[in-house]
Structure formats: structure tokens, C-alpha cells
Amino acid sequence: MSESHGLKWLLGIAGVIVILAGLKAAEAIVIPIMLALFVAIISTPFVRLMTKKGIPAYLSVIIALSVLISVGSVLVMVVSQSIDTFMTRMPAYQARLQTVVVDFLPYLERWDIPVDRDVIMTHLNPSQMMGLIGSTLSSIGSLLTNLFLVVFIVIFLLLEEATFSDKLKAALPNAEHSLQNASGFMRQVNQYLVIKTTISLVTGVLVTLWLWWLDVDFPVLWGLIAMLMNYIPNVGSLIAAVPAVLLSLVQLGVSDAIFVASGYLVINIIMGNLIEPRFMGKGLGLSPLVVFLSLILWGWLFGPVGMFLSIPLTMIVKIALEQNQSTRWIAIMLGNEAPATNE
């Protein structure tokens, strides 16, 4: 009996490895589909709301997509132009950052901190730091070029959603039970994604306004990155702040860089520690270890896009596991705290 149970676990692990390898091999196809699913899930509540108001389903889809395309097109133009300008100015930023690092070394020596200029310049190489930022921005730019493919997939997903329940009822004899389980699952997923997206959007807008007021270059670009990284708890805000703080250090100086870092800190404390828990609830959270491992796994699979989608994808898996009593223990292990038990 134990051997049979162990064999099942081995087969399950082998199946997961095969699936991950297949996802990695099909990265170019999977990423647009996953982004389209993400956008479609967020858009579904608004489409349903318009349908309940008496607007035909096809017209509701058109209105939702028109808003998405309008906002997305403006965002693509602004961000693409910002990325191109940043890449053009990057050699000047690298030279300025190297000067800042060299000028800071005498302060370390004055504080009797043993430093070696060659070691410092090797480990804090400005070219490598700015190059890493540039390659990440290039990945974002290539992602934005797939926008129209994502939009087309979203169109068909939203149109399919309008008739999916009717087709499921006709196809399966016990469809009512399946629909109830699916509706509960989708309700929780929608709740999580809509709340998280709204809070991330507000965070990105606040960061953009703060950097614009401080006159930091490309505030919309850094605001977009802050919005995307806000999906990653604990470390996302830190990752988002690094390029903007480095750029402000290069462009404006140490004092303004401190102001930029302070603004990021205040915004993320207010949005992440005060507002988000109030709306999100205690049940929609992940263990810090799970967050870290999710970043590694999905980042390895899909690069920067995988890091952005890592927590939403893991949360969807957690919510799905909660729907079945036999897998609920896995969802509990993924969570950030143990549920209350009646003794």
C-alpha cells in the first residue's frame, strides 16, 4: 500500500516536471495566452455588470475592449518612447554612475571602512547595473509588442465566456454542480485580481506623480514598473524602487535619491500595509517562502513576465486547491498563516 502511494507521488512529480518543461519550450505561445487570461479575468466583472444593466453581451465586450485598447495604446507609445530614450542615454548614465561610485569611496575610507577600489568597481560595476536595467526594460518593450495578439485572444475569451455556462450545461449531465464549483473559484480569483490590480494601479499613479514632481526622468515608465512589481509582495516594491533611485542618484544627486527612496517607502507602507490588507482579507495571502520560490520558478520559466505573473498564478493555484477537500491542506501550506480552528 505504501509502495503504491509512493509511486503515485513519484508519477505526480514526474508529471509536474514534464508540464513545466513543456511550458518552458512553448514560452512564446504561452506568455500571450497567460496575459490574455489575466486581462480577461479582470475584465469579466465589468462585462457582466454592463450585461446586467441591459447592454447586449457583444456590445459589453466591445466597450470593455475599447477602453483597454485606448489605455493600452497610449501606454505602449509612452513606455516605448521612454525605453528608447533611456537606452540612448544609457552610456551617459553609466559614466555618471561610475563617477558617483568613485566619489563615494573617500567617505568610506574616512569612516575607517577598509575598501579596495578595484574590488568595489568589480562588484558594483555601473555598466553591469545599468545594463541589467536596460535588458529588463527591453524585455518589457518586447512584451508590449505582443499587445495586439493579447487583445485578440481576450476578445475570443470574453465572447466565449458569455456562452460557456450554456454549453457546459448541454455537454455534461451534472453540469450544475460543476458550475457551482467553477463560479465559486472564479469569484475568489476575480476578487483577488480586481483588488490587487486596483491597488497596483493606484500605487503606480502615486509613484509617477511623486517622480514627476521631483523631476526624475521617465516617471511614467517607473510608475508602470511599480504597478507591475506591486503584484509581488515583500520584494516587489524593493525591485521597483532600485532603477528609479539609481537614476535619481545619477541625474539629481544623493539628496534627491533619498527623497525618491522615501517616497517609495511611504507609498508602499500605506498601500501595502494599511489599505491592501483591509480590502484583501486574511485568506488571500501567501507564505514569504512560497513568494520567493514562486519568483524563482515562474521567473525561470518566463523571464520578467513570469516574475510579474508569479504571484497571481500561484494565488490562482492556491484558490483552486482550496476548492477540493483532499487538496485543501496544500493550500493551507501555501498560505501566510494557519486558519482558525475550533477546539
pLDDT, mean of residues 299-325: 77
Cell of 280: 484583501
What phi and psi values does residue 326 have, to the nearest 5 degrees?
Answer: -75, -20
Tell the residue number behind the cell numbers 480590502, with chain if given. 279
% of the chain beyond a pLDDT of 90: 4
Tens-place pLDDT, residues 63-91: 888 887 787 777 777 777 777 787 787 77
Average pLDDT over residues 95-118: 66
How many C-beta neighbours within 10 Å does residue 157 have? 19
Per-residue confidence band for 207, with pLDDT thresholds at 50, 70 and 90: very high
Cα distances (Å, whole numbers) of residue 121 to 117, 118, 250, 253: 6, 5, 16, 19
* Three cell numbers, residue 125: 560595476
pLDDT band at 211 (very low <50, low <70, confident <90, very high): very high
pLDDT at 343: 45
Residue pLDDT, tens place only, 150-197: 777 887 777 776 666 666 566 556 655 555 666 666 777 777 778 888
Q: Which three cell numbers stand for residue 254?
A: 544623493
CB atoms under 10 Å from CB of 196, counted, come to 21
Q: Give the list of residues 6+ apart from residue 22 with CB closer than 8 angstroms, or none.
A: none
Question: 11-20, 94-103, 123-132, 230-239: which range is least confident on average?
Answer: 123-132
The predicted pLDDT at position 195 comes to 83
pLDDT (tens digit per residue) in 279-297: 765 555 677 777 778 888 8
Cell numbers that stand for 17 in this block: 516536471
Higher confidence at residue 321 or residue 205? 205
Mean pLDDT value across the chain: 75
What SS3 string covers 263-321? HHHHHHHHHHHHHHHHHHCCCCCCCHHHHHHHHHHHHHHHHHHHHHHHHHHHHHHHHHH
- Of 15-24, 81-90, 135-144, 155-164, the range with the lowest mean pLDDT is 135-144
The whole model's pTM is what? Answer: 0.74
> Tens digit of pLDDT for each residue in 27-64?
778 888 888 888 888 788 788 788 888 888 778 878 88
Segment 82-104 mean pLDDT: 75
- Angle at CA of residue 182, ends 316 and 42, nearest 5°: 50
pLDDT at site 125: 58
CA atoms within 13 A on the CB side of 152: 4
CA distance 40 to 63: 13
CB of 223 closer than 8 Å to CB of 205: yes
